[in-house]
């Protein structure tokens, strides 16, 4: 396999998590008796441009289909983050009714609704039918397709964009070249692109291996994104750290010859941080496998000890993060009998691979478990605040990543 960015042959392993189903391939009861498709989950790092990337085994159409169950609007904290972003970018770019905003991977309209209520013309591009229909029900115009060069050409016939939003989607892109070229083609000469992505620095520092799954094709540092942009006539003019997904970057991009000035000081600050973490040195990537094996072993040891002591264990959040952890550790319903989730689209289904049933949140009050593992640990505080009633029967929340911890 060759690097998605620079075409250099890949030979350096970053992580090998064995075989598992796609992380959002939730099962119905009838599916439990059918053949389940497993794929290798192997991640390499390019020794030329240092892009961390999964090996190609799963087609995007297999993952982002009409049954795709992830809805962005299930986390209040994330919705607040999106509203704050919308207000700030509207003010920063002085967007109004004469502007045109395009969001790539607009999901259920969780973000574009903030532009719609300010009467700013906007368009969502979303390949999954179920989420696109929810967005349309909110009055948002949606093109139901994947984004790339061809989509950009078609959409730009109507108008080029003052702002292109691609928050939390860059990792999901198998063809980085077509996608990034599409950004260039759709953008006005002085337009802005914003992209949010989990920062590779935090993945390494906090051993966030549960962010590795088939629908994430690449994992980014600022260094690699600058490299990708430069190959397609774009540049990054500003960057900021944001707290989502346990540490992300939001980059502001434009065309190479745009009149927008660079915030060189802060860009250099992030680049220096990456250099200090050794992201330009292959040795920094080679210890990740042994570190995540320690997390897996601690997780399994806790569950086995709890079972030995006849303690009840449950899960919270049927998230992709949880599926990566559960399948790598080989956990089944004998160790975690159920997982509760707020999303009605997941309730009544089963986790892929582990076949753990997904139940309504209210089941926690009925079962009164001793321990509740929070799988989307990046929103642990929000989960605890909303469900602190488990302390009434002595229940306690637990996270497994970056280290196993019983939360007070």
- pLDDT digits 0-9 by tens, 97-116: 999 999 999 999 999 999 99
Task: Give the ranges where 212-311 is alpha helix by DSSP (H).
Answer: 222-230, 264-276, 288-308
Predicted confidence at residue 56, as pLDDT, reads 76
Whether 156 and 182 have beta carbons less than 8 Å apart is answered as no
Predicted confidence at residue 64, as pLDDT, reads 53
- Least confident span in 1-5, 57-61, 115-119, 213-217: 57-61
Question: Do the two domains 72-77+160-285 and 288-407 of this chain adopt the same fold?
Answer: yes
Whether 299 and 400 have beta carbons less than 8 Å apart is answered as yes
The pLDDT tens digits for 11-46 are 999 999 999 999 889 999 999 999 999 999 999 999
In the CATH scheme, what is the homologous superfamily, with its name and number, of domain 72-77+160-285?
Answer: Vaccinia Virus protein VP39 (3.40.50.150)
Residue 69: band (very low, low, confident or very high) from pLDDT cuts 50, 70, 90? very low
Mean pLDDT of 164-191: 97
Tell me what the pLDDT averaged over the chain comes to: 94
Centre a 10 Å sphere on the Cβ of residue 51 and count the other Cβ atoms it contains. Answer: 25
Rounded Cα gap, residues 300 and 326, in angstroms:
10
Partners of 143 in the β-ladder: 125
Predicted confidence at residue 117, as pLDDT, reads 95
Rounded Cα gap, residues 91 and 114, in angstroms:
13
Predicted confidence at residue 90, as pLDDT, reads 98
Predicted confidence at residue 224, as pLDDT, reads 98
Predicted confidence at residue 101, as pLDDT, reads 99
Q: Which residue, among 387, 360, 373, 370, has the nearest Cα to 326 in the 3D structure? A: 373
pLDDT at 192 over 60: yes
pLDDT at 118 over 80: yes
**What is the DSSP pairing of strand 39-45 with strand 12-20?**
antiparallel
Rounded Cα gap, residues 200 and 182, in angstroms:
24
Which CATH number is correct for 288-407, 3.20.19.10, 3.40.190.10, 3.40.50.720, 3.30.43.10? 3.40.50.720
Residue 144: band (very low, low, confident or very high) from pLDDT cuts 50, 70, 90? very high
pLDDT at 248 over 50: yes
User: Coil, strand, or helix at residue 274?
Assistant: helix
Predicted confidence at residue 84, as pLDDT, reads 95
pTM of the model: 0.90
pLDDT at 67 over 80: no
Mean pLDDT of 318-334: 97
Mean pLDDT of 126-149: 95
Return the domain boundaries, the chain: 72-77+160-285, 288-407
């Amino acid at each position: 396999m060759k690097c998605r960015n620079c075409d250099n042959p890949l030979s350096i392993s970053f992580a090998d998590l064995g075989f598992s189903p796609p992380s959002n391939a939730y099962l119905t009861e009838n599916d439990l008796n059918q053949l389940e498709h497993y794929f290798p989950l192997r991640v390499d790092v390019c020794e030329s441009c240092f892009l961390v990337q999964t090996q190609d085994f799963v087609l995007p159409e297999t993952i982002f289909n009409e049954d795709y169950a992830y809805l962005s609007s299930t986390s209040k904290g994330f919705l607040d983050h999106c509203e704050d972003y919308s207000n700030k970018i509207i003010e920063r770019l002085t967007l109004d009714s004469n502007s045109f905003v395009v969001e790539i991977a607009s999901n259920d309209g969780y973000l574009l609704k903030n532009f719609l209520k300010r009467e700013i013309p906007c368009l969502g591009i979303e390949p999954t039918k179920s989420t696109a229909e929810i967005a349309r029900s909110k009055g948002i115009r949606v093109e139901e397709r994947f984004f790339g060069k061809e989509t950009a050409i078609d959409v730009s016939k109507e108008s080029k964009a003052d702002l292109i939003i691609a928050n939390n989607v860059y990792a999901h892109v198998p063809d980085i070249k077509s996608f990034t070229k599409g950004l260039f083609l759709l953008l006005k000469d002085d337009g802005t692109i914003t992209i949010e992505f989990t920062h590779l620095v935090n993945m390494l520092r906090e051993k966030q291996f549960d962010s590795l799954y088939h629908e994430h094709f690449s994992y980014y540092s600022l260094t690699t994104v600058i490299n990708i942009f430069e190959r397609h006539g774009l540049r990054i003019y500003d960057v900021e750290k944001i707290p989502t997904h346990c540490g992300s970057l939001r980059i502001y991009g434009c065309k190479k010859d745009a009149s927008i000035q660079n915030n060189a000081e802060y860009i250099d600050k992030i680049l220096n941080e990456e250099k200090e973490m050794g992201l330009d040195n292959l040795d920094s990537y080679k210890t990740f496998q042994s570190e995540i094996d320690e997390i897996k072993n601690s997780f399994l040891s806790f569950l086995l000890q709890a079972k030995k002591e006849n303690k009840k264990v449950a899960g919270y959040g049927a998230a992709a993060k949880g599926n990566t952890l559960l399948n790598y550790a080989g956990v089944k319903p004998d160790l975690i009998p159920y997982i509760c989730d707020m999303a009605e689209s997941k309730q009544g289904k089963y986790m892929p691979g582990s076949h753990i049933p997904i139940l309504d949140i209210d089941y926690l009050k009925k079962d009164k478990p001793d321990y509740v593992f929070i799988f989307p640990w990046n929103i642990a505080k929000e989960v605890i605040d909303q469900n602190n009633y488990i302390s009434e029967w002595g229940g306690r929340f637990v996270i497994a990543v970056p280290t196993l911890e019983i939360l007070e």
